[in-house]
Amino acid sequence: MFSLSPLELEALLLSLRVALVAVAISLPLGIAVAWVLARCNFPGKAVFDGIVHLPLVLPPVVVGYLLLILLGRGGVFGRWLYDLFGITLAFTWQGAAVAAAVMAFPLMVRAIRLALELVDQKLEAAAYTLGSGPFDVFFTVTLPLISPGILAGCLLAFARSLGEFGATITFAANIPGATQTIPLALYSVIQSPDGELPALRLAILSIVLSFVALAVSEILARRLRIRLAG
C-alpha cells in the first residue's frame, strides 16, 4: 500500500493550501479584469492587456524578484504592509500563494474573458429593459452564462499554482515545512545522492494530484452544462 512519508504529506498539504488560496485571491480580480478587457475600450488598453499577460512571457524568477522588490519587507509596498499591519509576505507560505497567484492570473483572465466575449449581450439588454440594474444583470444573467469559463479559469490557475517553482523559490524560498511545495521538495531531493526514489515518489504524487484535479473539474463542468441546459 502506498503511504506518504512526512515530507511528502507536508509538501502535498502545503501545495493544496497554496493553490487554493492562490485561486481564491485571484478570482474576484480576475473576473473584474476580464470584464474590463472584454467590454471596455479605453486609451492604453493594449498596454494594460500586455501588463496583465506579462507573467506568461517573463521568466518566473524575474517575477519572483519583482515581487521581492515590491512586497519584500523592505520593498515598495512590503514596508508599508509591515509597518501598518505587521504583515510579512516574503519567505512565508502566504508569499508562495501570492507568487502562484501572479503566475496563474493571466490564464484565469484569458478563460473568463473568452467566456464573456461569447455571451449574447442581447440577453443582458433584455434584462435592462425589464428594469434590472447593472449588478442584478451581472449576477443573474452574465455570471451564470460565464460560469463554465470561470470554472475553466479556476482549474487552469489551480493547476498552474500546483506546478509553480521559479517565482515561489525566489520570493518565498525553499523552507521545509513553511514554503516547500511539491515542486520545491522534488528539487531538494534531486540534489541529494540518495534522492532518486523520493524524487520518483514526489513526481508520481504530482501526476496523481493533477489527474484528480482534472477529473473533479470535468465532473463539475458536466454538471454545470446540464444545469445551464436545463
Q: What is the CATH number of the domain that holds 117?
A: 1.10.3720.10
Query: What's the total number of domains in the chain?
Result: 1
* Separation of alpha carbons 109 and 181, rounded Å: 24
Dihedral over Cα of 100, 106, 111, 117: its sign = positive
Question: Could you give the residue ranges of the DSSP H alpha helices within the chain?
Answer: 6-39, 45-52, 54-57, 60-71, 78-85, 93-117, 121-129, 134-137, 143-162, 166-171, 182-191, 196-229
Inside any domain, residue 192: yes
- Res. 32 pLDDT band, cuts 50 70 90: very high
Contact 53, 104 (CB under 8 A): no
Model pLDDT for residues 117-141, shown as the tens digit of each residue: 988 888 888 888 888 888 888 888 8
> If you search the block for the grid coordinates 515542486, which residue do you land on?
183
Inside any domain, residue 1: no
CB atoms closer than 10 angstroms to residue 65 = 17
Which three cell numbers mark 125? 439588454
Three-class DSSP category at 89? coil
User: Which amino acid, 216?
Assistant: V
C-alpha closest to that of 151 among 218, 229, 105: 218
Model pLDDT for residues 190-208, shown as the tens digit of each residue: 988 887 888 898 999 888 8
Inside any domain, residue 153: yes
Model pLDDT for residues 175-187, shown as the tens digit of each residue: 988 899 999 999 9
Predicted confidence at residue 1, as pLDDT, reads 43
Predicted confidence at residue 230, as pLDDT, reads 60
Predicted confidence at residue 197, as pLDDT, reads 87
Q: Which domain holds residue 155?
A: 6-229
Report DSSP letters for 7-71, one per residue: HHHHHHHHHHHHHHHHHHHHHHHHHHHHHHHHH---TTHHHHHHHHTHHHHS-HHHHHHHHHHHH
